[in-house]
Amino acid sequence: MKYLIKIAYDGSKFYGFQRLKNKETVQKKIEDALTILDRNPVIIKGAGRTDRGVHASGQYAHFELMKDIPEQNLLFALNKIIHPFIHIISIKKVNEDFHARFSVVKKRYIYQIWTGEFSPFKEDYFFQYNRKIDLKKWKECAELFIGAYNFHNFVSGERENYNAIINKIEIKQNHDMIQILFEGKSFYRYMVRNLVGAIIDYGENRCDLELIQKMLEDDKFIYQLRTAPANGLYLDEIEYDVKEFQ
C-alpha cells in the first residue's frame, strides 16, 4: 500500500530533512519508525528537501508498506514513536502512480523575521533582525520576483534549469513580527532565503532595483546578495491534485 503523510517538524533539532550517514534527520527518524511498524525496510520520498535548521508545518512524503495498516492506526503508532520534534498531521492512501515530489501543484513557504529586542527564545525560529524596517521598500522589491524568471543568481549549487514561476509574495507585519509568504510550484536550494536576503539588502540601500532586475533578466550576469539564515524559514504547505488520492 502507498501512503502520503503530512509532516510538521522543528528543524532546529535535525540536520535537515534528507537522510545523512550518522546524523539525525527527519527522513531517517520517520523511516526508522516505519520500519519497526512494517517489519520491513521502508524508504520515504519527500516533496522536497529542507536544510538544517529549516522548519515545516506542511511537508509531505510518500512511502509503501507491505502491511495494509488503517490510516488512523498508522497515524497513532507513528506519532508515538517519532514524538516530540516531528508530528504526522495526516495520513492518506494514494494511487500507485502518485509521487510526493513530482505530483506537486503548488508550494508555500513562510519566512519569519523578528524586528524587536533580541530574545533567546526566538533564536531557533526567527531571523532576529532586531531593527525597524521600511515595509514599503520591502514590498517594492518583492514585487520584482513575482512571475517567471531564471533564478540562477538566487539559487545555491549547479542545476540544469533555474527557471521557476513565483505566483505570489506577501509581506505582513504584526508589531515586531514580519512574515514573508512565497507561493509557486518550484523552489530550489537556498532560493527563498536568497530572495529574502535581496529584499533586506534593498531595504538597507545596499543595492538598487535595477541591479536586482538585471540579476533576474540577464542569465550571463553573476552577482550575490545576502542569504537569510535558515532558522526563519518554514515549508508551510504543499498542494496536490485531489484526483491523486484514493
**Annotated catalytic sites, by residue?**
51
Grid coordinates representing 108 are 508555500
Q: How many CB atoms lie within 10 A of CB 242?
A: 7
Distances (CA, A) of 244 to 4, 62, 93: 10, 12, 10
8 Å CB contact between 216 and 151: yes
8 Å CB contact between 60 and 114: no
The secondary element (H helix, E strand) that includes residue 169 is strand 163-174
Number of helices (H), then strands (E), belonging to the chain: the values are 5, 10
